[in-house]
């Protein structure tokens, strides 16, 4: 047996090595080495899932109750780090410079709010899903159903960007066009979710985190070393790369530093890359603030993020797992801008042509002469990031449908077999919807994901914030808040879709600017909170049993 | 405890227990620091910023009226051409804007070429364009040599230093068909394009270097994230201490 394994291993290594000797091309035909790495990693995830299989529903939902805070932090980070973090963030900075940092700040600063306002209390409340909390706290089946539908919509919006990322990476690995790559990638991720979605999720997430972060950091060390920057800590070393991009890099024959296409490491001065809200990027100060704010409150309202706090043993562990989770997330977020900075310089020659921004992480590694197998590992890391998030989101969406909608609202007597069937059907339906939207290529990955954040910020966040911290918030207030939040969301998204279809609606420019699709929560969330408070004050108080529960169980 | 609304009421701003009181104060302080660190700094950046032109923009402003009236000297044409090339070297430029900039660049190059040289230069550019459209890879040796030769032929016209990146970019933006007088659209839109790409919001916070970074970039991309982790850590430590002091079992 060992001999067989050894032979297979040697064969794989030789195939990979043969693939690695091919001339570097940014795009092109099927890449054997990266494909093998990608398949190996996906098979590894499934095997780990099988090995740490959840034994029952409770074990699945609360899979992490036996793991450490650091392990739980890794699971939070893996759950969080999607294609938007891995690929999308560098793309945003590559395309719009300092404006892209609003996403970095938004996607990390929200954890502070989540921790100090919610994490411990959510754990103490003791529900499994966001819809469970909403239905219970606001004593309403209709609100539970609304919460479940919103959670599904958020999952779909979040998945669209991920499918885009998977499509781009499959396109890069397989050398097919984007549409075919999205469909193939969608089928693979669906199969992966159906096989591994109910397996040892939390253990898998820790392993996924290690693979994602290692694949992301190795090329960065190589790039900073090769181009003569401070490589020991690339997260600081790239500062000089940013400054060089700002002031310009003259040609220098002595160093002979070149990209993989033979262009010398030099560029004209590009202060627009680092200067705040630069006119060249077309982005304004208001947009920076609105995006950062919307992403931060969206972070504290995302169902699949909130759900992580139900699966730790104690409220104290929930709090500390946020600290570790944020630290692990920051390792990637400190590094992503470095890819954008190197990408800016390495692709500055007009001969490189216009690169797909969302794949700039991989292109940068290629242009920087990083070994093709390591670039393959990087691409596989991007796919892993998307897969880990998508499978979690599809499972969360499917359970919102089967658990919160079908069982709790439609058919309370449904057998476990029937529940499972509905969960699987919901997973397939969601994957079809997401693939269809992803094919339209509406925006960058990071921007598409930001839509989900704004939606969560306008709807779920106000319900949790007031539900936990103000016992006066009642069912009627919650209904008013959710209507206000949804109204703003619908207006913003209608104008966005109309704009993409080439239709001009009344006051189109005004609405599109002030209620942009990736930051409408700056307005929607405060409006929903105000509506909730005003209507709650005007209507019957919250029932005593709910208030008692809040006082005795959540805040004591 | 009776069941009156006052007895069972939770409000963040009206804490009723020692623990809740402590928690409110801690949260308020942390949110204030968080808010000031994120938004306060961005507001400060906005307040301090000054529109700061690149040297290329100043050169453009100095030469534009003479170029427009076709009364520019050779030195002015050089400054004007180099300014256009500075923008063409930026990645972010839109395709429509590239055509306008190429018209301006090519016209300035033609103005600088001696009458006896113009026909030959146009022919070389056209040949290079044809070669560029026919090759499969930019590492084609014949293409590389042709590009270097064209750069050697045209860079001296703009007096570009050999270490200047623009010597590499120049042949890629020479278009025989664009060597025409400035089009009406070019005259109308070029000043706006130059201002868009060559004037930036700068201040002492953007011009100061810290650990190799422009300071504002370091602050937002690195330091804020450290602060977020620090704030979370501080909250957990303070809460744990309080719980221990009050003997609260979590």
Query: Does a structural domain hold residue A454?
Result: no
The pair of three-digit structure tokens given for residue A63, joined into one six-digit string: 């899979």
Please write the tens of the pLDDT for every residue from A306-334. Answer: 877 766 667 788 888 889 999 999 999 99
Residues on chain A touching B139 (C-beta within 8 angstroms):
261-262
State the DSSP code for B222. I
Flag if B240 and A326 touch (Cβ within 8 Å): no
- Chain-centroid distance, C-alpha A338: 19
Q: Is beta strand B209-210 parallel, antiparallel or unpaired with respect to B199-202? A: unpaired
Mutate to test the interface with B, among A323, A330, A470, A546 (most CBs of B within 10 A): A323
* pLDDT of A385 above 70: yes
Q: Where are the alpha helices (DSSP H) in chain B?
A: 18-35, 41-48, 55-68, 74-88, 95-112, 115-134, 141-158, 166-169, 184-198, 204-207, 215-218, 224-245
Q: What is the pLDDT of residue B186?
A: 94
- Mean pLDDT over A9-29 rounds to 46
Contacts of A455 by beta carbon, 8 Å cutoff, 6+ apart: A150, A153, A154, A157, A298, A489, A521
**H-helix or E-strand containing B209?**
strand B209-210
Provide the shortest C-alpha distance from residue A421 to chain B (in Å).
Answer: 38
A286 touches chain B (CB under 8 A): no
pLDDT band at B189 (very low <50, low <70, confident <90, very high): very high
Chain A, 71 to 130: residues with Cβ < 8 Å from chain B are 95, 98, 101, 104-105, 108-109, 111-113, 115-117, 120
Q: What distance in Å separates residue B236's CA from the closest CA in chain A?
A: 6
Q: Judge residue A167's burial from the number of C-beta atoms within 10 Å of its C-beta, 0-12 exposed, 13-18 middle, 19 or more buried.
A: buried
Q: Does position A162 have pLDDT exceeding 60, yes or no?
A: yes
DSSP letter (8 states) at residue A264 = B
Q: Is residue A389 part of a domain?
A: yes
Domain-embedded: residue A547: no
pLDDT above 80 for B188: yes
> CA of B173, closest CA in chain A: separation in Å?
9
Sign of the Cα torsion A223, A224, A228, A231 reads negative
Residue A328 counted as domain residue: yes
Kindly determine whether residue B196 and residue A280, on different chains, have CB atoms separated by under 8 Å.
Answer: yes
Cβ-Cβ contacts under 8 Å for B29 (sequence gap 6 or more): none
B204 in A contact zone (CB under 8 Å): no
Whole-angstrom Cα distance, residue A70 to residue A79? 14
Quick one: pLDDT at residue A70? 84
Interface probe, candidates B4, B218, B221, chain A, greatest A C-beta count within 10 A: B221
- Region A217-233 average pLDDT: 94
Residues 6+ apart with CB under 8 A from A405: A131, A145, A148, A149
- Integer Cα distance of A502 and A477 in angstroms: 38
Query: Residues 116 to 145 of B: which have CB under 8 A from any A CB?
Result: 138-139, 144
Q: Does B70 touch chain A (CB under 8 A)?
A: no
Among B10, B168, B239, beta carbon nearest to A469: B10
DSSP tag of B163: T
Say which residue, A20 or B129, is predicted with more confidence: B129
Q: How far apart are CA A230 and CA B32, in angstroms?
A: 35
Lowest mean pLDDT among A394-398, A458-462, A494-498: A394-398
Q: Which of A246, A288, A316 is closest, CB to CB, to B214?
A: A246
Q: Determine, yes or no, domain membership for A43.
A: yes
Please give the ipTM for the structure prediction. Answer: 0.91
Q: Are A220 and A339 in contact (CB under 8 A)?
A: yes
Query: Which chain A positions have a beta carbon within 8 Å of B165's beta carbon?
Result: 248-251, 264, 266-268, 348
Q: Which domain holds residue A295?
A: 27-440
> Does any domain span residue A119?
yes
CA B203 to chain centre: 15
* Cβ-based burial of B118 (10 A; exposed 0-12, middle 13-18, buried ≥19): middle
> pLDDT at position B18, please?
84
CATH value at residue A35: 1.20.1730.10
Domain boundaries, chain B: 22-49+208-245, 51-202
Place A197 in a pLDDT band, splitting at 50, 70 and 90. low
Band of pLDDT at residue B2, cut at 50, 70 and 90: very low
CA distance A270 to A254: 23
A503–chain B nearest CA distance, Å: 22
CA distance A548 to chain B (A): 6
| Cβ-defined contact of B214 to A243 (cutoff 8 Å) | yes
Which range scores top for mean pLDDT: A38-47, A376-385, A534-543? A534-543
Minimum distance, in Å, between the CA of residue A251 and any CA atom of chain B: 5
Please tell me the least confidently modeled range out of A12-26, A293-307, A464-478, B118-132: A12-26
Position A161 in a domain: yes
Q: How many domains does chain A fold into?
A: 1
Number of Cβ atoms within 10 Å of the Cβ of A373 = 18
Residues of B in contact with A264 (CB under 8 A): 165, 168
A285: chain B residues, CB-CB within 8 Å: 42, 46
A506 SS3 class: coil
- Dihedral of alpha carbons A547, A548, A554, A556, sign: positive
Residue A15: pLDDT band (50, 70, 90) is very low
Say if residue A136's pLDDT is above 80: yes
CB A296 within 8 A of CB A109: yes
Chain B residue at shortest CA distance from A336: B221
Maximal CA-CA distance, chain B: 104
Record: contact B167-A115, CB cut-off 8 A: no
Tokens of A383: 């796919």
Question: Would residue A36 count as lying in a domain?
Answer: yes
**B185: Cα within 13 Å, side-chain hemisphere:** 9
In A480-506, which positions are buried (b, 16+ CB within 10 angstroms) versus exposed (e)? bbbebbbebbebbbebbeebeeeeeee
**A443 φ, ψ (degrees, to nearest 5):** -165, -175
Q: Does B42 touch chain A (CB under 8 A)?
A: yes
Kindly state the DSSP code that residue B136 receives in the 8-state scheme.
S
For residue A6, count CB atoms less than 10 angstroms from its CB and return exposed for 0-12, middle for 13-18, buried for 19 or more: exposed
Indicate yes or no: CB of A470 within 8 angstroms of CB of B211.
no
* Residue A537 contacts B where some CB pair is shorter than 8 Å: no
């Amino acid at each position: 047996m060992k001999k067989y394994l050894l032979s297979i291993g040697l064969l794989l290594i030789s195939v990979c090595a043969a693939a690695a000797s091919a001339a570097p091309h940014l795009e092109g035909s099927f890449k054997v080495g990266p494909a093998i790495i990608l398949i190996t990693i996906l098979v590894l995830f499934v095997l780990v899932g099988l090995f740490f299989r959840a034994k029952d529903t409770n074990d699945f939902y609360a899979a992490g109750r036996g793991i450490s805070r650091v392990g739980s932090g890794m699971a939070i980070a893996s759950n969080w780090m999607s294609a938007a973090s891995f690929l999308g963030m560098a793309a945003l900075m590559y395309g719009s410079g300092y404006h892209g940092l609003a996403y970095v700040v938004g996607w990390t600063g929200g954890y502070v709010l989540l921790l100090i306002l919610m994490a411990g209390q959510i754990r103490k409340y003791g529900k499994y899903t966001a819809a469970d909390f909403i239905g219970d706290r606001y004593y309403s089946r209709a609100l539970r159903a609304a919460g479940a539908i919103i959670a599904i919509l958020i999952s779909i919006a979040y998945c669209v960007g991920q499918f885009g990322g998977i499509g781009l990476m499959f396109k890069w690995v397989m050398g097919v066009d984007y549409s075919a790559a999205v469909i193939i990638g969608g089928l693979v991720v669906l199969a992966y979710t159906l096989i591994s979605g109910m397996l040892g999720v939390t253990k898998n997430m820790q392993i996924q985190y290690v693979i994602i972060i290692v694949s992301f950091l190795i090329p960065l060390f190589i790039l900073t070393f090769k181009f003569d920057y401070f490589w020991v800590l690339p997260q600081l070393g790239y500062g000089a790369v940013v400054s060089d991009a700002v002031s310009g890099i003259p040609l220098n024959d002595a160093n002979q530093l070149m990209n993989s296409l033979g262009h010398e490491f030099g560029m004209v001065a590009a202060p627009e890359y680092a200067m705040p809200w630069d006119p060249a990027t077309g982005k304004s100060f208001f947009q920076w603030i609105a995006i950062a704010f919307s992403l931060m409150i969206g972070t504290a309202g995302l169902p699949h993020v909130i759900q992580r706090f139900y699966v730790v043993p104690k409220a104290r562990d929930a709090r500390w797992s946020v600290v570790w989770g944020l630290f692990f997330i920051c390792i990637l977020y400190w590094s992503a801008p470095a890819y954008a900075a190197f990408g800016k310089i390495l692709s500055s020659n007009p001969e490189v042509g216009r690169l797909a921004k969302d794949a700039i992480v991989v292109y940068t590694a290629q242009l920087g002469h990083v070994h093709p197998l390591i670039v393959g590992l990087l691409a596989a890391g991007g796919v892993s990031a998307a897969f880990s998030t998508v499978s979690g989101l599809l499972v969360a969406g499917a359970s919102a449908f089967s658990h919160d909608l079908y069982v709790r609202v439609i058919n309370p007597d449904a057998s476990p077999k029937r529940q499972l069937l509905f969960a699987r059907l919901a997973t397939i339906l969601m994957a079809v919807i997401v693939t269809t939207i992803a094919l339209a290529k509406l925006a960058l990955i990071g921007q598409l994901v930001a839509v989900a954040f704004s939606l969560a910020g306008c709807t779920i966040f106000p319900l949790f914030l007031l539900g936990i911290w103000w016992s006066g918030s009642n069912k009627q207030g919650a209904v008013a808040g959710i209507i206000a939040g949804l109204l703003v969301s619908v207006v913003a998204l209608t104008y966005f879709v109309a704009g993409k279809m080439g239709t001009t609606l009344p006051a189109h420019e005004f609405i599109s600017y002030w209620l942009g699709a990736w930051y409408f929560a700056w307005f929607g969330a405060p409006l929903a909170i105000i509506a909730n408070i005003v209507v709650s004050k005007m209507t019957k108080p919250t029932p005593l049993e709910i208030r008692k529960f809040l006082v005795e169980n959540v805040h004591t | 405890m009776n069941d009156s609304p006052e007895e069972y009421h939770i409000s963040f701003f009206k804490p009723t227990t020692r623990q809740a009181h402590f928690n409110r104060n801690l949260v308020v302080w942390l949110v204030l620091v968080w808010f000031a660190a994120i938004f306060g700094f961005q507001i400060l950046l906005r307040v301090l910023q000054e529109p700061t032109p690149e040297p290329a923009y100043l050169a453009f402003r100095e030469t534009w009226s003479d170029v427009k009236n076709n009364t520019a000297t050779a030195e002015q044409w050089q400054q004007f051409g180099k300014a256009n090339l500075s923008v063409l070297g930026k990645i972010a430029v839109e395709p429509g804007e590239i055509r306008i900039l190429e018209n301006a660049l090519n016209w300035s190059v033609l103005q600088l070429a001696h009458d006896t040289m113009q026909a030959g230069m146009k022919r070389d550019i056209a040949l290079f364009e044809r070669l560029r459209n026919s090759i499969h890879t930019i590492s084609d040796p014949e293409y590389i040599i042709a590009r270097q030769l064209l750069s050697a032929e045209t860079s001296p016209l703009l007096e570009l230093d050999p270490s200047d990146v623009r010597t590499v970019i120049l042949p890629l933006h020479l278009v025989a068909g664009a060597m025409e007088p400035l089009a009406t659209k070019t005259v109308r839109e070029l000043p706006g394009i130059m201002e868009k790409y060559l004037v930036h919001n700068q201040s002492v916070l953007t011009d100061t270097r810290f650990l190799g970074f422009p300071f504002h970039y370091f602050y937002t991309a690195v330091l804020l994230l450290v602060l977020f982790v620090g704030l979370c850590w501080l909250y957990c430590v303070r809460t744990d201490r309080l719980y221990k002091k009050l003997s609260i079992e979590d």
